[in-house]
Structure 1
Amino acid sequence: MVKVASLYDVDQRNDMQGLATDLTYEYPKKDAQKAFHWYKRAADREGFMSDVMACYIVGNTFTSGSPQAGVEKNDRLALRYYERCMLLTGPQIDLDMNVVDGVIPESQLRSRSPRSGNEHYFCSAAFQSGLILFSGSKNGKEQPSSGSDSLVEVDLVRAMRYWKQASMLGHAQASYNIGIMYAKGIGVEQDSFEAGKWFARALHLDDTRKLVVPAHIKLRNWNASKEELGDSLPVQQEQQQPSKPSSSPFSSSGSSSKPMSNAATTSTAKSTRRRERKKPIDYPDMDDSRGKIVALSSAAAVAGTIVWWYMKAHK
């Protein structure tokens, strides 16, 4: 079913140009609706018969909606398919994802980006789920015709949990978002010390060197404790600020750990200098914080996944 979906998802007539002319190739026309139909059928298989890649692609399609495929934006369905993707891949990863409910030992933290397919899909699905739960759905604005069945309530506790799981697998942006939440006291008690640990991890994982840490936050070693405060605790910060910030937009696509646009992270650094107390979900500056944390990635992620699969299948 995934192979059938991919045939409808890529204009293969253009891809086959230059092959031997004595052979006749018959390919279906690109059809986004049929492609989505088959991806969804593969994702809707019961239990472990469900296809992981199909779950992630369907989740991405519902995240942003697709007029070409006749799919409306639906956060609730997007979250359902992302979580199904996590359920399928989680047992195949040699880390205990439940440790995020307590103090995460350094031994349970990947020091590099995801490598295996299961790690890629779990990490990306967890990150995207966190974005949905952090922002929630705005009835009448983002989804005017989808109805209440498509809406998701803000759940900062689950968002934090999913981002911690993504960070365990080496997702730089997820680590950075957790740092912002601790620095600003969003959904948790404000804790600059804890924020310093997550920002340090984000910089360690960020191979683009685009992430910018708020000026008042000191980076901390993962195993540092507040009782042992001293000059030896802060991590070296030579790479905390990029020498020449770029204004080019970046998004966290698929399982890569690319950051938000540098303009957004720079703005975050300025806005987080003002200390705040813990507040309820409806923050006065919540929309501003959403702009700093939320990174759009669905279209790029779907396209990247399809191209990767197609190239692999034709080797």
Structure 2
Amino acid sequence: QWYRLAAEQGHADAQYNLGVMHGNGLGVPKDDVEAVRWYRLAAEQGNASAQFNLGVRYTNGWGVPKDDVEAVQWYRLASEQGDAVAQYNLGVMHDNGRGVPKDAVEAVRWYRLAAEQGNVSAQNNLGNMYEDGSGVLKDDIEAVRWYRLAAEQGLASAQYNLGLMYANGLGVLKDLVFAHMWSNIAGANGHENAPKLRDLLEGEITPEQISEATRRARGCMSSGYSDCD
């Protein structure tokens, strides 16, 4: 009730909070159209979180017709205010040519801004861009650096990617023990291809090395990824 009173008086934060409440059915019936209405009012006043959420709703067609062009506009406004998830989403839109022409250089720019703020998905995607030489000069060392940052935040796809880099000696010295360790960790975190990589590696290393890799994987995970070297 207090949020509604404040929202109706034009307070952007209250309008945003009312959007969240309607969008999630918190204390009011869930109503996507009503959520959009309040997000839009807050977004038009420059509330970055509302701008981001409005972008998400246009991306998914929640409470509004699906519209990637409109989504990009709202992601851009939130991104320019430093919203890391909006920056990541804007990178994805440029990467895939959704709502904007496909532009790998622009994708890298937004991924980097989000990655530097610690956004784990952006770190992994930036690693992909460096590994593929997409929108940036190919640089396996830089790819490994970003994969590692994301892997140490617990992202299974980055852990798998890091395992592959160790397995192939790309951007790091080839090390099948570390490759096994990271593929094992990625598998434990639900990456569907990681167990196949781990099993493949087990055909190439000794039982002692498998034990060592397994011990390291346990230590890495139990330390919250702070002891993975």
Class of the TM-score when normalised by the shorter of the 2 chains? 0.5 to 0.7
Identical aligned residues as a percent: 23
Give the Å deviation of 1:126.
0.9
3-state DSSP of counterpart to 1:263: coil
Q: 1:240 to 1:39 in 2, by over 3 A?
A: same
Equivalent-residue separation in structure 2 for 1:79 and 1:59 (angstroms): 7
Q: Is the 8 A contact 1:164 1:175 kept in 2?
A: yes
In the alignment, is residue 86 of structure 1 matched against residue 79 of structure 2? yes
Runs of 5+ in structure 1 lacking a partner? 16-27, 91-121, 138-150, 221-230, 249-261, 269-315
Q: 1:31 to 1:196 in 2, by over 3 A?
A: closer
In the alignment, is residue 162 of structure 1 matched against residue 110 of structure 2? yes
Q: Could you report, residue by residue, the CA deviation over 1:270-300 in whole angstroms, capped at 9, with x for unpaired residues? A: xxxxxxxxxxxxxxxxxxxxxxxxxxxxxxx
Equivalent position of 1:129 in the other structure: 90
Equivalent-residue separation in structure 1 for 2:136 and 2:104 (angstroms): 9
TM-score w.r.t. length of structure 2: 0.64
Equivalent-residue separation in structure 2 for 1:124 and 1:267 (angstroms): 31
Runs of 5+ in structure 2 lacking a partner? 1-14, 198-229
Q: Could you report, residue by residue, the CA deviation over 1:86-107 in whole angstroms, capped at 9, with x for unpaired residues? A: 223x3xxxxxxxxxxxxxxxxx
Equivalent position of 1:197 in the other structure: 145
Q: Is the 8 A contact 2:183 2:194 kept in 1?
A: no
Equivalent position of 1:39 in the other structure: 39
Q: 1:267 to 1:154 in 2, by over 3 A?
A: farther
Equivalent-residue separation in structure 2 for 1:267 and 1:166 (angstroms): 31
Q: Is the 8 A contact 2:160 2:183 kept in 1?
A: yes
Q: 1:165 to 1:266 in 2, by over 3 A?
A: farther
For residues 204-219 of structure 1, the aligned pairs below 5 Å read 204=152, 206-209=153-156, 211-213=159-161, 214=164, 215-218=167-170
In the alignment, is residue 11 of structure 1 matched against residue 4 of structure 2? no
What amino acid is the match of 1:53?
A: S
Equivalent-residue separation in structure 2 for 1:181 and 1:136 (angstroms): 15
- Number of aligned positions between the proteins: 175
For residues 280-291 of structure 1, the aligned pairs below 5 Å read none
Equivalent position of 1:173 in the other structure: 121
Q: Is the 8 A contact 1:247 1:263 kept in 2?
A: no
Q: Relative contact order (C-alpha < 8 Å, sep 6+): which is higher? A: 1
TM-score w.r.t. length of structure 1: 0.48
Give the Å deviation of 1:183.
1.6
Q: Is the 8 A contact 2:187 2:193 kept in 1?
A: no
Give the Å deviation of 1:3.
3.7
3-state DSSP of counterpart to 1:63: helix
Equivalent position of 1:263 in the other structure: 192
What amino acid is the match of 1:51?
A: N
What amino acid is the match of 1:134?
A: D
Give the Å deviation of 1:162.
0.9
